[in-house]
Amino acid sequence: MSLPTMTGVGRLTADPEMSFTQSGKAVANVSLAFNSRRLNAQTQQWEDGDVFFIRGSVWERLAENVVETLAKGMEVMVTGEIRTRSWEKDGQKHERPDLFIRSIAPNLAFAVAQVSKDAASQQNGQGGQRPAQGQQRPQGQTQGRSGPPPQDDPWAVDKAKGYSDEPPF
Protein backbone atom coordinates (compact mmCIF):
# COMPACT_ATOMS: atom_id res chain seq x y z
CA MET A 1 0.00 0.00 0.00
CA SER A 2 1.38 3.43 -0.90
CA LEU A 3 1.43 6.52 1.25
CA PRO A 4 -1.25 9.16 0.66
CA THR A 5 -0.23 11.86 -1.79
CA MET A 6 -1.27 15.47 -1.38
CA THR A 7 -1.35 18.17 -4.02
CA GLY A 8 -2.54 21.63 -3.11
CA VAL A 9 -2.10 25.37 -3.08
CA GLY A 10 -1.03 26.87 0.23
CA ARG A 11 1.03 29.62 1.82
CA LEU A 12 4.41 29.49 3.48
CA THR A 13 4.00 30.48 7.13
CA ALA A 14 7.78 30.98 7.60
CA ASP A 15 10.92 31.19 5.50
CA PRO A 16 12.26 27.74 4.57
CA GLU A 17 15.02 26.63 6.98
CA MET A 18 18.08 24.84 5.58
CA SER A 19 20.18 22.31 7.45
CA PHE A 20 22.44 19.41 6.57
CA THR A 21 22.48 15.79 7.70
CA GLN A 22 25.67 14.29 9.15
CA SER A 23 26.38 12.78 5.73
CA GLY A 24 26.14 16.22 4.09
CA LYS A 25 22.71 15.99 2.45
CA ALA A 26 20.75 19.25 2.31
CA VAL A 27 17.30 19.32 3.90
CA ALA A 28 14.93 22.27 4.17
CA ASN A 29 11.95 22.45 6.50
CA VAL A 30 8.90 24.21 5.12
CA SER A 31 5.82 25.30 7.10
CA LEU A 32 2.60 25.43 5.09
CA ALA A 33 -0.98 26.55 5.67
CA PHE A 34 -3.91 25.53 3.48
CA ASN A 35 -7.26 27.24 3.95
CA SER A 36 -10.71 27.32 2.41
CA ARG A 37 -11.31 31.01 1.75
CA ARG A 38 -14.77 31.79 0.31
CA LEU A 39 -16.70 34.81 -0.88
CA ASN A 40 -19.77 35.36 1.31
CA ALA A 41 -22.59 36.00 -1.18
CA GLN A 42 -24.59 38.09 1.31
CA THR A 43 -21.83 40.44 2.51
CA GLN A 44 -19.60 40.24 -0.60
CA GLN A 45 -16.65 39.83 1.80
CA TRP A 46 -14.00 37.11 1.78
CA GLU A 47 -14.14 34.79 4.80
CA ASP A 48 -11.52 32.31 5.94
CA GLY A 49 -12.75 28.80 6.59
CA ASP A 50 -10.92 25.87 8.12
CA VAL A 51 -7.12 25.97 8.07
CA PHE A 52 -4.81 22.94 7.79
CA PHE A 53 -1.20 23.46 8.93
CA ILE A 54 1.55 21.00 8.05
CA ARG A 55 5.33 21.00 8.09
CA GLY A 56 7.16 19.57 5.14
CA SER A 57 10.67 18.48 4.30
CA VAL A 58 12.51 19.00 1.03
CA TRP A 59 15.76 17.19 0.26
CA GLU A 60 19.00 17.65 -1.66
CA ARG A 61 19.07 20.02 -4.67
CA LEU A 62 15.35 20.82 -4.37
CA ALA A 63 15.99 21.95 -0.79
CA GLU A 64 18.71 24.35 -1.90
CA ASN A 65 16.48 25.74 -4.67
CA VAL A 66 13.57 26.20 -2.25
CA VAL A 67 15.70 28.18 0.22
CA GLU A 68 17.05 30.39 -2.58
CA THR A 69 13.64 30.98 -4.18
CA LEU A 70 10.76 30.91 -1.67
CA ALA A 71 9.93 33.12 1.32
CA LYS A 72 7.31 33.51 4.05
CA GLY A 73 3.88 34.53 2.76
CA MET A 74 4.34 33.21 -0.78
CA GLU A 75 1.54 31.13 -2.25
CA VAL A 76 2.93 27.84 -3.55
CA MET A 77 1.74 24.75 -5.36
CA VAL A 78 3.04 21.64 -3.65
CA THR A 79 2.93 17.87 -4.14
CA GLY A 80 4.19 15.27 -1.73
CA GLU A 81 3.55 12.21 0.38
CA ILE A 82 2.04 12.48 3.85
CA ARG A 83 4.13 10.58 6.40
CA THR A 84 4.23 10.30 10.17
CA ARG A 85 7.27 11.90 11.78
CA SER A 86 8.14 10.32 15.12
CA TRP A 87 10.61 11.44 17.78
CA GLU A 88 11.28 11.08 21.46
CA LYS A 89 11.84 14.02 23.80
CA ASP A 90 12.25 13.88 27.57
CA GLY A 91 11.26 10.21 27.53
CA GLN A 92 7.95 10.88 25.75
CA LYS A 93 7.15 9.73 22.24
CA HIS A 94 5.72 12.34 19.86
CA GLU A 95 4.22 12.05 16.38
CA ARG A 96 2.90 14.48 13.81
CA PRO A 97 2.05 14.41 10.12
CA ASP A 98 4.83 15.55 7.79
CA LEU A 99 4.76 16.23 4.06
CA PHE A 100 7.67 14.68 2.13
CA ILE A 101 7.71 17.30 -0.66
CA ARG A 102 8.45 16.05 -4.17
CA SER A 103 7.58 19.27 -6.01
CA ILE A 104 7.00 22.88 -4.93
CA ALA A 105 6.73 26.10 -6.92
CA PRO A 106 5.46 29.66 -6.54
CA ASN A 107 1.91 30.26 -7.76
CA LEU A 108 2.33 32.52 -10.78
CA ALA A 109 -1.14 33.98 -10.22
CA PHE A 110 0.47 36.06 -7.45
CA ALA A 111 4.17 36.19 -8.34
CA VAL A 112 6.54 36.61 -11.26
CA ALA A 113 9.36 34.12 -11.59
CA GLN A 114 12.41 34.09 -13.81
CA VAL A 115 13.28 30.45 -14.34
CA SER A 116 16.82 29.28 -14.95
CA LYS A 117 18.58 25.96 -14.65
CA ASP A 118 20.68 25.53 -11.54
CA ALA A 119 24.39 24.72 -11.79
CA ALA A 120 23.95 21.11 -10.67
CA SER A 121 21.45 20.29 -13.42
CA GLN A 122 23.62 21.98 -16.05
CA GLN A 123 26.50 19.73 -15.04
CA ASN A 124 24.26 16.64 -14.72
CA GLY A 125 25.27 16.50 -11.04
CA GLN A 126 23.19 15.38 -8.09
CA GLY A 127 23.73 18.55 -6.07
CA GLY A 128 22.42 18.73 -2.55
CA GLN A 129 25.88 18.41 -1.03
CA ARG A 130 27.32 20.69 1.62
CA PRO A 131 29.97 23.13 0.37
CA ALA A 132 33.51 21.89 1.00
CA GLN A 133 35.05 22.64 4.39
CA GLY A 134 35.85 26.34 4.66
CA GLN A 135 33.83 27.28 1.58
CA GLN A 136 30.68 29.33 1.91
CA ARG A 137 28.32 30.51 -0.78
CA PRO A 138 28.00 34.30 -0.79
CA GLN A 139 24.80 35.38 0.92
CA GLY A 140 21.99 36.05 -1.55
CA GLN A 141 23.97 34.79 -4.53
CA THR A 142 22.34 32.00 -6.48
CA GLN A 143 24.13 29.20 -8.24
CA GLY A 144 23.89 28.71 -11.98
CA ARG A 145 22.61 32.20 -12.81
CA SER A 146 25.87 34.02 -13.33
CA GLY A 147 26.90 32.89 -16.80
CA PRO A 148 25.34 32.28 -20.19
CA PRO A 149 23.49 29.00 -20.75
CA PRO A 150 25.38 26.16 -22.43
CA GLN A 151 25.32 26.10 -26.23
CA ASP A 152 23.28 22.88 -26.28
CA ASP A 153 20.64 24.13 -23.79
CA PRO A 154 17.27 23.48 -25.51
CA TRP A 155 15.53 26.06 -23.27
CA ALA A 156 17.99 28.89 -23.90
CA VAL A 157 16.47 32.19 -24.93
CA ASP A 158 17.91 34.52 -27.53
CA LYS A 159 17.90 37.77 -25.53
CA ALA A 160 17.91 39.88 -28.70
CA LYS A 161 14.74 38.20 -30.01
CA GLY A 162 13.22 37.27 -26.64
CA TYR A 163 12.62 33.67 -27.70
CA SER A 164 14.29 30.65 -29.22
CA ASP A 165 13.61 29.67 -32.84
CA GLU A 166 14.36 26.04 -32.09
CA PRO A 167 11.89 23.69 -30.36
CA PRO A 168 13.27 22.25 -27.11
CA PHE A 169 13.00 18.65 -28.33
Mind listing the pLDDT tens digit for each residue in 70-86?
A: 999 999 999 999 998 88
Span of 8-12, 53-57, 128-132, 162-166 with lowest mean pLDDT: 128-132
Please report, as a single letter, which amino acid is at residue 126: Q
83: phi then psi, degrees, rounded to nearest 5: -125, 170
Residue 133: pLDDT above 90?
A: no
- Give the CA-trace dihedral at 150, 112, 37, 101, to 10 degrees: 20
Quote the pLDDT of residue 77: 94
Residue 55: pLDDT above 70?
A: yes
Nearest-angstrom CA–CA distance, 62 and 38: 32
pTM of the model: 0.62
Comparing 157 with 102, which gets the higher pLDDT? Answer: 102
Quote the pLDDT of residue 145: 40
Confidence label for 119 from pLDDT (cuts 50, 70 and 90): low
- Classified by CATH at the fold level, domain 5-122 comes out as OB fold (Dihydrolipoamide Acetyltransferase, E2P) (2.40.50)
What is the DSSP-derived secondary structure letter of residue 123?
A: T
Residue 135: pLDDT above 70?
A: no
> What are the residues facing 141 on neighbouring strands?
none
Nearest to 29 by CA among 63, 75, 60: 63
C-beta separation of 64 from 57 below 8 A = no
Mind listing the pLDDT tens digit for each residue in 27-44?
A: 999 999 998 878 888 998
Nearest to 28 by CA among 64, 68, 76, 82: 64
Quote the pLDDT of residue 134: 43
